[in-house]
Amino acid sequence: MGYLAPVSWYAAVEAADAVVVEQYEHYVKQTFRNRCRIAMPDGPQDLVIPVVAAPNHTPMRDIRISDHGNWRHHHWNALKTAYGKSPFFEYYADDFEPFYTNKYAFLADFIEEMQQKVCELVDIDTPVMRSETYASPTDFSALPVSTKPYYQVFQQRLGFLPNLSIIDLLFNLGPESLLYLKSFK
C-alpha cells in the first residue's frame, strides 16, 4: 500500500487476478507507504505525507496522518508545478484535487481511496482489497521497473525518469497509461 505508488506497483496490480493489500503489517518509515516521487523541473522530488508518531510495530491500518506543515497544500501545489503543462493535467485535476482539500484521519484510508481513483482513471479492473488478517507482505523491491520511455514534461532537461509515481504516467499519457502498464508483461 503506497501513496501514489510507483508505476511498477500499478503494473503488477494490472497483471494480477486480484490484489490483497496487507493492512496489518508494521508501518515502516521512509518507504513509499507515505511518499511518492514526481518529476519537478530540477529533478525528482519526493512528496511525503507526515504521520503522527506511533510506537514500533504499529499496524499500517492504525497510522494517522498529521496535519503538520500544511502538506496537502504543498503537495497539490507541487503537482500543479510539476504537471500543470502536461497533456492530461487539466483533464484529471478535478479527480485529484479533493484528496488535497479533504482531511483523512488514517493513512490507509487516504491511500485506499486514492488507489481506487487511480485504478478507475487508468481503467484497471483488478480487484484490490485489504487483508482481514495478517499475511506476509509483498516484497515491492522485486517489482520489475520498466525503462521503456514515455513522454515526460521535463524529459528534454532531465532525461527519462523511470518508475516515478503513477501520477506521472497518468498526467503524461492519459488514457494510454493502461497500454504502458500492460507492456510490463
Which of the pair, 126 or 146, is modelled with greater confidence?
126
- Residue 57 confidence (pLDDT): 82
Arithmetic mean of pLDDT over the chain: 90
DSSP string spanning the chain? --TT-BHHHHHHHHHSS-EEE-SSSBP-SSSTTSEEEEEETTEEEEEE--B----TT-BGGGPBBP-GGGHHHHHHHHHHHHHTTSTTHHHHHHHHGGGGTS--SBHHHHHHHHHHHHHHHHT----EEE-SS--PPP-GGGS---------TTHHHH---TT-BHHHHHHHHGGGHHHHHHTT-
* Other CB atoms within 10 A of residue 14 CB: 21
If one compares 133 and 174, the residue with the highest pLDDT of the two is: 174
The reply to whether 157 falls in a domain is yes
73 Cβ neighbours under 8 A, 6+ residues apart: 100
| Assigned domain for 166 exists | yes
Report the C-alpha dihedral over residues 9, 15, 19, 25, rounded to 10 degrees.
-30
Look at the block and give the residue holding cell 497510522.
63
Domain containing residue 19: 7-180
Domain count, the chain: 1
CA gap 119, 72 in Å, rounded:
21
Q: Is there a domain that residue 185 lies in?
A: no
* Residue 160, domain member (yes or no): yes
Average pLDDT score over residue span 13-36 = 83
Q: Is residue 46 part of a domain?
A: yes
pLDDT tens, position by position, 90-134: 999 999 999 999 999 999 999 999 999 999 999 999 998 887 777
pLDDT of 79 strictly over 60: yes
Q: Is the pLDDT of residue 141 over 80?
A: no
Segment 152-172 shows an average pLDDT of 96
Q: Which range is least confidently modeled, 3-7, 82-86, 114-118, 131-135?
A: 131-135
The answer to the question of residue 2 being in a domain is no
| Cβ neighbours for 174, distance < 8 A, ≥ 6 positions apart | 87, 88, 91, 92
Residue 137 predicted with pLDDT over 60: no
Average pLDDT of the residues in 21-36: 79
What pLDDT is recorded for position 139? 55
Establish if 63 belongs to a structural domain.
yes
In a domain, 33, yes or no: yes
